[in-house]
């Protein structure tokens, strides 16, 4: 098992032993299992996927959305430090869709590069949150 700590600016979001993690990095998603090699990396905006036990099926994994941060893997301990992380159960799909539509509108109305960059950042964030909300909806079907 891996000891996993997910720490946000507001405190520890998750501290538990897990079987597998899938973490977003600049080079793509990495899978982390017991005895993973030591690593320090930037955590990219994306989805943190947590498999609690070896027998947990893919559709019952826990999902967290994050806007990025840093991660450290050492001695079967993974620590992620991020500004924010929301569990799929904390997301309201209707609100996430509304935020995504608002970001699309901001992007289409951007008048300069700074406004365009800010709108794109909001759009990227809302797209990831939408994906996690969709995963949550699929999970409820089971």
> In order of start, what are the domains of the chain with their CATH numbers?
2-88 (2.60.15.10), 91-140 (1.20.5)
With pLDDT > 70 as the criterion, what percentage of the chain qualifies?
A: 96
Burial of 71 (0-12, 13-18, 19+ CB in 10 A): buried
Average pLDDT, the chain: 90
Most confident of 60-64, 90-94, 128-132, 138-142: 60-64
Residue 23 has pLDDT above 80, yes or no: yes
C-alpha 125/C-alpha 119 separation (Å) is 10
Residue 59 to residues 35, 46, 56, 141: CA-CA distances in angstroms?
25, 18, 8, 10
Is residue 122 within 8 Å of 106, Cβ to Cβ?
Answer: yes
Is residue 94 within 8 Å of 118, Cβ to Cβ?
Answer: no
- Supply the pLDDT for residue 135: 78
N- to C-terminal Cα separation, the chain = 26
Confidence of residue 111 (pLDDT cuts 50, 70, 90): confident
Q: Is the pTM of this model over 0.75?
A: yes
């Amino acid at each position: 098992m891996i000891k996993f700590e997910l720490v946000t600016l507001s405190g520890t979001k998750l501290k538990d032993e897990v079987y597998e993690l899938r973490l977003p990095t600049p080079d793509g998603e990495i899978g982390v299992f017991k005895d993973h090699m030591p690593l320090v990396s930037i955590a990219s905006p994306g989805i943190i996927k947590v498999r609690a036990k070896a027998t947990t099926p893919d559709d019952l994994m826990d999902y967290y959305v994050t806007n990025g941060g840093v991660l450290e893997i050492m001695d079967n301990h993974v620590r992620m430090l991020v500004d924010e992380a929301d569990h799929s159960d904390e997301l309201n799909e209707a609100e996430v869709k509304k935020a995504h539509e608002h970001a699309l509108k901001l992007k289409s109305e951007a008048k300069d590069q700074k406004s365009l960059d800010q709108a794109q950042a909001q759009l990227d964030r809302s797209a990831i949150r939408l994906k996690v909300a969709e995963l949550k909806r699929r999970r409820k079907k089971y």
